[in-house]
Structure 1
Amino acid sequence: MKKSLMALGSVLMLGGVASAQKVAFEEYTLENGLHVILHQDKSAPVVITSVMYHVGAKDENPERTGFAHFFEHLLFEGTKNIGRGEWFKIVSGNGGTNNANTSDDRTYYFEVFPSNNLELGLWMESERLLHPVINQIGVDTQNEVVKEEKRLRVDNQPYGNLFSAVKENMFKKHPYRWAPIGSMEHLDAATLEEFQAFNKKFYVPNNAVLVVAGDIEYDQTIKWVKQYFGSIPKGTTDLKKTVFTEDPITSPIKATYEDPNIQLPMLVTAYRTPSMKTRDAKVLDMISSVLSDGKSSRLYKKIVDQKKMALEIGAFNYSQEDYGVYFIFGLPMAPTTLEGLTKEIDEEITKLQTELISEKDFQKLQNKFENRYVNSNASIEGIAENLATYYLLYGDVNLINTENEIYQSITREEIRDAAKKYLNPNQRLILDYVPAKDKAQN
């Protein structure tokens, strides 16, 4: 009886946590098209001001890749009213932090300040939008910064070109075929006018969402938003996204990539999957958890722990706005070959396609995703980025409150059926990611 009461108490506590995670927000759109989302949280005297722009690597000219990521750096150079090199000094001097990041689909900038500097954060983001200084000295400076980042994070990083090697084989028509870091040759060849035109086209209020979250007062925040952003002109360029449709993969794609920074080959199998906005994308998230999330997962337990055929194994669904890629990778342990490792992985996928996972494993899976949901909204920074993402890429801000319900409604049958639909041998890339030949001979 005591154990039953304790179990009931745990369930009630879990329900309380999930309920407490409901995120209240207000949203509206300025006349210039800027969408605004406000979230009040007075648990700490902190505020985040953030802007997400609907521009990423997929919006680039194929002969000028890397522009979206380049702007993530370039737009910290300064503005008409913020001197060159002063941005970071202003932020740190007022007790704040800031950062930015770029994906194939969007670019995101944010500052975290003590709440008494909310107006400063809004002014700075409005300056970035209204008065950026894009000149040759800034372009030349950031060109070197981006080159160094590519050397450190990609070129000289073991397995650093994994995503690029997969994407260039998985996509033939869609701009997802190149990585956000882009081509240094393309950046070198670009003119100042091309950078200025990219800014004029994409960095406009009607291509962005402003999220203000934290210790705020709604009335005052609305007043400041209008004051600093309301007069910014709406963009005049057509921002309609081009639709790229890939032909279905109906026979295996085989490719090899040689990496001079590795000693151990890696097996990679990859499957093209649907947009992150689909229910199937969420089912595939759950499948990746079944296969490789933790030491009790199927692939790890069988291939790494029991058979000791690999040093590492993993699976994940890389969801994006238009398409996704489902990755399965492994580092085989001698004498296991890449072919032998593929065979073992395929056996586990076949089980998913033909057998329902157990009720016990299914409950464990649901608990994991419940926990992920709670953790994703555990910080004000996480909430702000989620609000921006759900609006800009999903078209539904309230998914921040309802997405977990979708995961919890997924059935064991759907998991089996999605594995059948997307994870078939004739629908995949098999990539041998191996040491460079000259390195292997040394």
Structure 2
Amino acid sequence: MHPKDLKIENFTYDLPNEKIAYAPVDPRDSSKILLYQNGTISQDIYRNISDHLPEDAVLVFNDTKVIKSRIFFQRPTGAVIEVFCLEPYGENSNYEDFFQQKGSALWTCLVGKIGKWKEKQLSKTILVNDKEVLLSVEIVDKLTDSYVIKFTWTPEEIAFGEIIDHAGVTPLPPYIKRIADKKDEETYQTVYSEHEGSVAAPTAGLHFTPAIFEKLKEKNIPSLFTTLHVGAGTFMPVKSDTMEGHHMHSEYMNITLAFLDQLYNSLDKTVISVGTTSTRTLESIFWMGNKIINCPEISYEDLKVSQWEPYETENISEAKDAVKALYGWIQKQGLDHISIETEIIIAPSYTYKIVKGLVTNFHQPQSTLLLLVSALIGEEWHKIYDYALQNDFRFLSYGDGSLLLP
């Protein structure tokens, strides 16, 4: 069956409110982990995850960093307008360049209480390193379901990365009905986060600590790091009856030659992605490389993986050949990395090309993330989620997780 024909009603379950985690456990590696191996289910805590990994395991992490993307402005009337930064607006897809912009920046944003925004500009004064900064926003354009917002600030020599870090608050998931506090700035960030750009955390990685990485090192289990900037679309519910009516959100990946070299040398081992975002990145790498093999002169623009492409491609290569092809193509462009979007949707009938196991949290009913899990373990997802519900596992972003080895 083509995943277009999948009915989302077949990917639902009853999730009581009391099963949702509204705050993390402390310490983070004391979270429970469900272990699914060879069809059997058991449990432990994350601190012991290395005891349950195959000897030839290679873990792949998403080292994106969550930005304080929720910025509040108060009108003279007292009404509060929320500007939620989604992604940079413009041709340049290199996120690091956007965060270095000075004086002004264009971003695609959601706007809360847009009907109350009557002024051309909204402004507020913030402190950046003990220096007063006047930050202003204005609407430049209206998109289908968002706005292009121009940020301007004085003094101009301050980079946008510092502006957003001091002006905004951490964007907790929409089902956590509270404003993030100081503690969330630490707990809603992985300990290995490095590259700014996400508006949601790669939550499977929230459980990992330096102590876990030390254990992995002792057992000679490599940890590889790549980057996909998680967008707000990760929380977007599927509203259509079948998947054909659902438009999969795009997310930016930053893929380096160094990472591709490490990945190529790991493909004979058990590659386990930590999180659905790492999974999307790894599988997108395959499909980009496969496109290059079929069309060596492909343009940068055409390299992007579209939603249904994996299900409608006839000539399919081996994983090693695909990774090698992408490495060679990037090198041929005179680059050491590419920043590019992916729209890949991973759903039942999908055959994984690189990923052989998955570390992930428990996802919302009728979500594309649940489809991704089902593509890996099939109908067993029902059994796994039933076990988690009956054994007091905590669900969603701040919840517990699972190690899935089909």
TM-score, normalised relative to structure 2: 0.24
Q: Which has the higher strand share?
A: 2
Rg: which structure is higher?
1
Per chain length, whose mean CA-contact separation is higher, i.e. which structure has more relative contact order (CA < 8 Å, sep 6+)?
A: 2
TM-score, normalised relative to structure 1: 0.23
